[in-house]
Amino acid sequence: MSVPRKVLLAISSYNEVFYEDGKRTGLFYTEALHPYQAFVQAGFEVDVASETGTYGLDEHSTTKDFLTDEDERTYNDPNHPFNVLLNKHLYKASNLDPKQYGLFFASAGHATLYDYPHARGLQSIAEDIYERGGVVSAVCHGPAILPGVKDKKTGKSIIDGKTVTGFTSLGEEQMNLMQKIKGDKVLTIEEGAADAGATYVSPPTPFADFHKIDGRVVTGANPASAHSTADAAIKVFDGK
């Protein structure tokens, strides 16, 4: 494949109060960290961008529930290369040259339900990568971006007619978040996929490590799937 061995790691710029306890949603930390680690290990360059060039963290994503000891050490190290990228070199999508990238990976957090469907800067980078034969990938709530990523040949979403996964509606129910999502009139991942003509498949349980490959589109279901989804995207990129 002649596309550059360089990843655009997309993150949400939405950072508003979302949870019943008054905490904010935003970037789900490990859903960007773990893919970053996989890509670097596989010899990719990585840039990080959001739609606006700003971001905030999902406040639940940095609790003990979701961080291993190693993740926590990384999170608390401001000089870790990932944190340096995130906090000192975060790009605004519209300022980037899409031709520099061969792989697009949309990280997540519930925040993405709010900004990814309208994030034309990020979507257009993914469109350009896809058109040139690159890979488009997303995990958990990251697939919220995919209905808006159009195949320039057909004018339809790149997931039209494809099989995808992402965070389940059952998972939203279990987390008592469905009422908030419905009240805010944003689409669940399952609804967005259906609207775009994709077939959605669930993981065996909402938090089981699970991903789907369909052509050059690779999707993962939840935080536990972030690393394996990136690994799968790398394999597709490398033609394995």
Query: Which amino acids are annotated catalytic?
Result: 140-141, 172
Separation CA 146–CA 133 (nearest Å) = 16
Taking the CB of residue 51, how many other CB atoms lie within 10 A of it?
Answer: 23
Could you tell me the two tokens for 7?
């990843």
H or E stretch including 45?
A: strand 45-50
Joined together, the tokens standing for residue 188 give 């669940």
Which of helix, strand or coil describes residue 213?
strand
Only one residue has tokens 């406040």, namely: 59
**Strand partners of residue 138:** 106, 219
SS3 88: helix
